[in-house]
Each structure stands twice: as C-alpha cells, then as structure tokens.
Amino acid sequence: MTAVSEAAGSETHLRSPRPRGGLGRSVRDSLVVAKRNLIRMLRIPEVVIFGLIQPIMFVVLFTYVFGGSINIPGAPSGDARAYREFLMAGIFAQTVTFATAGAGAGIADDMHKGLIDRFRSLPMSRGAVLTGRTLADLVQTALTLVVLAVVALLIGWRSHENIAKVLGGFALLLLLGYAFSWIGALIGLSVRTPEAATSGGLIWLFPLTFISNAFVPVNGMPAFLQHIAEWNPFSATVAGARQLFGNTIGGVPRSVTGAWPMEHPVLASVLWSVLIIAVFRTLAVRKYRSATA
C-alpha cells in the first residue's frame, strides 16, 4: 500500500464533468453498458451455446417428429416440405422470445450482486442499464438467428422472396425479440433471485408461443382458442415473417376468424412490438429507479 501515499495527498477533488444533453448521454451510457454485456457474453460462451442448442433441437424434433402428421391447408396431405416451410418462421419467432429469459436473469443477477446499486449511484442516464442490456441481447438474438437460419437451410427450408423482403422478415423477428427483452427486464427487476428470473422469464412463453399459428395451423384448434391465437402478438410476427419469406403455401397466412392482425400481419407485428416496448420500457425504467436489491 505504499503507492497510495504519493497519490492521495496531491490529488485535487474533481467532480465528474457536467452531463451532456439528455439524449446524447442516454445513447452513450447505453452503449457503454451494452459493451459490458457483450464482453460478458464472450467470456461466458456457454450461455450463447445453450441458447443455440434449444432452437436447433426444436427444428429437428418438429420437422421429423411432427412434420409427417401435420397437414398444412392448401398443401398436399403429408407434404413434409410444406410443413418445414410453415414451421421455420414459428421456430425463429419462438427463439427470439427466449431473449426474455436472458435479459431477466442478467438483470436479476446484477441486482443480486450489487451492480445495480453501483450503477444507480452513478450520474448516468436512468434507462441506460436496461437499454444496454436489451441491446446486447439483441446482438445475441441476431447471432442465434443466423446460426438457426443456416441449420434451417441445411434441412431444406427455402424462402421464395427477394433478399430485401427476407431481411425484412428477420427485422420483424428481431423487433419482437427486442420487445420481449423489455418484458424480461421488468421480470428481472421484480424477482428476488436470478433463478426465479430465468423460470419466470420462460414458463409463460410456452402457452404464448403454442397458442398461436407458430407450430400448427390454427384451424385445428377449438373456436375460442382460434380467437386467442389470431390476436396473439406472437402470431402476428409469425404470419408476418412467413409472408416476407414467401412461406405461404396455398395462400397461408389467411385468417380463420377474420382477425385484423392476420389480414395485415407485417403491420400488426410492428404495431404490437412497438406497443410492448412502449409499455414495458416505461414500467421497467420506473421499477429501476426505485429498485432495491
């Protein structure tokens, strides 16, 4: 500790520089936090790898286990290729929603370890810790989608639209993932342990993603479920992505109940995602301001 004495006496007290304008500070602080989270991902690659295994498993299981038994309206009965095309947008969409659990667990862990207290005692933008986290999750989700798309191509999935539309489809999926990571942020701030955030971030995703048009056509469901499925924000994104990928065999997507989102899936998907971001970002930032570990 001898080094301390030289520095301590001579040092003048300087306060941190005055903050720059609100928006500039928010953006910069968010990027600083996003960088921190991306470094963490590189140092704990297990998380990213396990995040990849699950969707790949789903692709293989659904394609080969259910594929032969599910009939897609408008396609020849038992046409495995038709189901593969139908399925992929659903798997992609389900994969992006898992960002919820990642964001939730990460933020709960930061609370638990006292890092949120550290951040809250700094003169930084109030939303930056959460925005930085959700941005880092967006990068991870994008990487996962790239790997998953390659696997999908390998087992025979094809898009039938131009590259701009295909990219648009992936953008739609990423927007949904980003929106869901804000739900995860709120969950992470609301629970006591990182474990609770992981399970709390995941369980509700199963009914949400299964009561939808993602894995089976809704026309096989009871009427009341059909209504739920077609108004499900998740279904709008699946249908929108299917449309932009050109995976619409026999005219699918097509609404069974006449729900508006199914008639305009791309627009509906964007609207749903923006609405989710607006609501959950507001709630999460408010929660962050008063968060107590």
Report how many residues bind other proteins under the rule CB under 8 A. 43
Pick the piece of the chain touching other proteins (CB under 8 A) from 13-21, 98-106, 211-219, 266-274.
Answer: 13-21
Which of 76, 78, 114, 220 binds other proteins (CB under 8 A)? It is 114
With binding defined as CB under 8 A, does residue 290 bind other proteins? yes
With binding defined as CB under 8 A, does residue 137 bind other proteins? no
How many angstroms separate the CA atoms of 124 and 150, rounded? 40
Which of 123, 207, 220, 250 binds other proteins (CB under 8 A)? It is 123
**Residue 211 exposed, middle or buried by CB count within 10 Å (0-12, 13-18, 19+):** middle
> Cβ of residue 284: shortest distance to other proteins, in angstroms?
17
Q: How many C-beta atoms lie closer than 10 Å to residue 80's C-beta?
A: 15
Which of 52, 81, 117, 166 binds other proteins (CB under 8 A)? It is 117
Please give the full DSSP string across 28-88, using - where no structure is assigned: HHHHHHHHHHHHHHHH-HHHHHHHHHHHHHHHHHIIIIITTTPPPTTS-TT-HHHHHHHHH
How many angstroms separate the CA atoms of 91 and 59, rounded? 7
Which of 26, 27, 28, 58 binds other proteins (CB under 8 A)? It is 28
With binding defined as CB under 8 A, does residue 44 bind other proteins? yes
How many angstroms separate the CA atoms of 238 and 213, rounded? 7
Where on the chain is the footprint of other proteins (CB under 8 A)? 1, 3-5, 7-9, 11-20, 25, 28-29, 32-33, 35-36, 39-40, 43-44, 113-115, 117-124, 128, 290, 292-293
